[in-house]
């Protein structure tokens, strides 16, 4: 039978079969699907084939179906191994706040670049709408138009007052969604509002910063009562963003991707080249300067603290 891996503890995997039964499974044989070495062959979100054991309570995973995408975290040691955190994500949400705490544009852009690199559609959820003054609402509009123009849908909510959460439920329904955001933006508050009765156990996957030793921390998918799954992760900084080649960076900004075909040189870096369509758009105000600044900052590998 076929199923979805919804939890992993390293040696055991909880698989929800298409018939709706949850079976604890072990792995049979080896699975080699990636060109990188991974510490865990199977992760939450994987679609697998399962053969039930005679007791019908446990099973063996005998096949792994191709992934449409996956996110990894690099090992902290030098073994060059990576841990697959989750697979087959339909979308990634970044929870953002404009105040207390303020999420910087640079942080948002780095998240979006990472999501592009992983080929996961990203959406921005602006939280704490209840705190906004009139002036704040204007800034919110500016922020949202920057990202809407770049092709990223934006939503505003108040997790605490449960404002606009129906909109979020609609987006989440029947999808596998990664939820990220830096500390204090209200991620737990929002998730708890969406998962009534299930207090989020944050310790499980948030202690990723351990140094020196290889640890096995695994993501868990939370089943939404209205259909779909949430995968909670800490900020993208901890996500072990893989190295992005400089020449690939432009295509990870959708609006730059659209322009760069018109640059005079096919290997244009969009920094100071003559005939650069990106610089021309920037000068004409058709490309958002904060987005271009982030492009440059990532290109030159300056850390933008969020
Ligand atoms: N005013 C207001 N406060 C909120 C809202 N959502 C969350 N908060 C508050 O913001 C603070 C941080 O919320 P959390 O849900 O713990 O934030 P988090 O992103 O999970 O942060 P960590 O637990 O550090 O990962 C808490 O004091 C919440 O009560 C909101 O919509 N409006
Ligand atoms: Zn160019």
ipTM at complex level: 0.97
Nearest residue to 159 (alpha-carbon basis) of 198, 125, 190: 190
What does R_g of the chain's alpha carbons equal in angstroms?
21
Pairing of strands 58-64, 22-27: parallel
SS3 state at 130 = helix
What's the CATH class of domain 246-299?
Answer: mainly alpha
- Relative to the alpha carbon of 129, which ligand is closest? 1
SS3 state at 291 = helix
Q: Candidates 100, 107, 140, 188: which one to mutate for ligand 1, based on the most atoms within 8 Å of Cβ?
A: 188
Q: Candidates 96, 159, 204, 205: which one to mutate for ligand 1, based on the most atoms within 8 Å of Cβ?
A: 159
- pLDDT per position as a tens digit, 151-181: 999 999 999 999 999 999 999 999 999 998 8
List 230's β-bridge partners, or say none.
Answer: 177, 222
The rounded Å distance from CA 118 to ligand 1 centre is 27
Cis peptide before 151 (omega within 30 of 0): no
Return d(Cα 16, Cα 125) in angstroms, integer.
29
Residue with the smallest CA separation from ligand 1 atom 14 is 186
Binding-site residue ranges: 127-130, 181-189, 263, 268, 270, 276
The rounded Å distance from CA 263 to ligand 1 centre is 44
pLDDT value for 241: 54
What's the CATH class of domain 2-67?
Answer: mainly beta
Structure tokens at 166: 């129906």
Could you tell me the residue ranges of all domains in the chain? 2-67, 86-239, 246-299
pLDDT value for 213: 37
Residue with the smallest CA separation from ligand 1 atom 3 is 128
What's the CATH class of domain 86-239?
Answer: alpha beta
* Lining residues, ligand 1, CB within 6 Å: 127-128, 130-131, 158-160, 181, 183-189
Q: Which residues surround ligand 2, an ion (CB under 5 A)?
A: 263, 268, 270, 276, 278
> b/e per residue, 195-226, with b = 16+ CB within 10 A?
eeeeebeeeebbebeeeeeeeeebbbbbebee
pLDDT value for 212: 37
Q: Could you report how far apart the first and last alpha carbons of the chain are, in Å?
A: 45
The rounded Å distance from CA 168 to ligand 1 centre is 17
CA dihedral 10, 202, 222, 98 (to 10 degrees): -130
pLDDT value for 40: 77
Q: Would you say the CATH fold of 86-239 matches that of 2-67? A: no
The segments of the chain whose pLDDT lies below 50 read 201-216, 235-237, 240, 304-306
- pLDDT per position as a tens digit, 44-77: 999 999 999 988 789 999 999 999 998 887 665 6
């Amino acid at each position: 039978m076929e199923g979805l891996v919804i939890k992993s503890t390293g040696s055991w995997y909880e698989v929800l079969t298409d018939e709706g039964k949850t079976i604890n499974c072990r792995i049979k044989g080896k699975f080699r699907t990636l060109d990188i070495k991974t510490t865990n062959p199977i992760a939450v979100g994987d679609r697998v084939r399962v053969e039930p054991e005679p007791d019908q309570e446990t099973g063996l995973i005998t096949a792994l179906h191709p992934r449409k995408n996956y996110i990894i975290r690099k090992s902290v040691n030098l073994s060059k191994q990576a841990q697959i955190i989750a697979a087959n994500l339909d979308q990634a949400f970044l929870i953002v706040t404009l105040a207390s705490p303020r999420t910087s544009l640079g942080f948002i852009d780095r998240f979006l670049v990472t999501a592009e690199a992983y080929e996961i559609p990203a959406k921005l959820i602006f939280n704490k709408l209840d705190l906004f003054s009139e002036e704040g609402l204007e800034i919110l509009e500016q922020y949202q138009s920057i990202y809407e123009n770049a092709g990223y849908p934006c939503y505003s909510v108040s997790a605490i007052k449960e404002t606009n959460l129906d909109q979020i439920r609609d987006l989440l329904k029947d999808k596998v969604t990664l939820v990220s955001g830096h500390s204090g933006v209200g991620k737990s508050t929002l998730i708890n509002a969406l998962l009534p009765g299930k207090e989020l156990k944050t310790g499980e996957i948030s202690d990723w910063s351990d140094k020196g030793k290889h640890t096995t921390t695994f993501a868990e998918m939370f089943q939404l009562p209205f259909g779909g799954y949430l995968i909670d992760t800490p900020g993208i900084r901890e996500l072990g963003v893989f190295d992005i080649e400089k020449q690939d960076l432009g295509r990870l900004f959708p609006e730059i991707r659209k322009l760069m075909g018109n640059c005079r040189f096919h290997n244009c870096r969009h920094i100071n080249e003559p005939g650069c369509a990106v610089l021309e758009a920037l000068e004409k105000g058709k490309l958002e300067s904060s987005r271009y600044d982030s492009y440059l900052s990532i290109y030159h590998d300056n850390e933008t603290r969020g």
